[in-house]
Amino acid sequence: MNLKNWFLFSAHKLIPPAIMFLANSPELRINGLMCPGHVSTIIGSVPYEPIAKQFKIPCVITGFEPVDMLEGIYMLLKQYIEKRYEVEIQYKRVVQKNGNIKAVNLMYDVFEITDSGWRGIGQIPESGLKIRTEFNRFDIEYVIPIYDIQTSKEPKECICGEILKGTKLPYDCKLFRKICSPENPIGACMVSSEGTCSAYYKYL
């Protein structure tokens, strides 16, 4: 369409590399993973298989309804008890093993893999997507160069990184419910409505 006034700032993240990064942490305390149904609708279940095999972590891709979550937990427990480390799809009405190949190909026609910063964790290699050089005219970082983009660092009291690794709970954080809340989020775990701290604040 030859648009002259339409630009993108790419902040897209790739979930499997982030999980691999966390799984490599010696202090990780996770016995099973409920993988995101919406992401997996596109990428399928195959990208999670190295995580399950290499780190012996059961994985189940679930939907977001209460029954989906409960069945996902049941499937994880069953794998754990049987000492199986597989990627199972609970969300079969939407997710297929190979995902949406057409969508993935289209995505990589426009974007390419790059290192990316994650709040609460830091830089993770090959965990983000940037716009390919042939589409620079739409890339706001190219059109208006910004040289000092950094992943914001939480205050020292915030323990979001440890919560993400499963080594601590939100209740262990000195800021939780006192300063940090959904209305005044300090760390990534509270910023996201899907974050651990946000869920603890609302439901526990």
pLDDT at 194 over 70: yes
Question: What six digits make up the tokens of 36?
Answer: 């995101």
Burial of 40 (0-12, 13-18, 19+ CB in 10 A): buried
Q: What is the mean pLDDT of the chain?
A: 92
Which pLDDT band, with edges at 50, 70 and 90, does 28 fall under? confident
Gap between the Cα atoms of 166 and 155, Å rounded: 19
pTM as predicted: 0.84
Instruction: Give a yes or no: residue 146 inside a domain.
Output: yes
Mean pLDDT of 135-158: 81
Are residues 32 and 132 located together in one domain of the fold?
Answer: yes
Residue-level pLDDT at 156:
83
Mean pLDDT of 43-64: 96
Burial of 86 (0-12, 13-18, 19+ CB in 10 A): middle
Gap between the Cα atoms of 145 and 3, Å rounded: 20
Return the H-helix or E-strand segment holding 99. Answer: none
Are residues 129 and 45 located together in one domain of the fold?
Answer: yes
Which pLDDT band, with edges at 50, 70 and 90, does 173 fall under? very high
Mean pLDDT of 59-82: 97
Gap between the Cα atoms of 171 and 169, Å rounded: 5
Are residues 130 and 79 located together in one domain of the fold?
Answer: yes
Range of the domain at 127: 7-151
Count how many domains the chain has: 2
Mean pLDDT of 40-53: 97
Question: What six digits make up the tokens of 28?
Answer: 């990780």
Are residues 168 and 197 located together in one domain of the fold?
Answer: yes
Question: What six digits make up the tokens of 159?
Answer: 């323990």
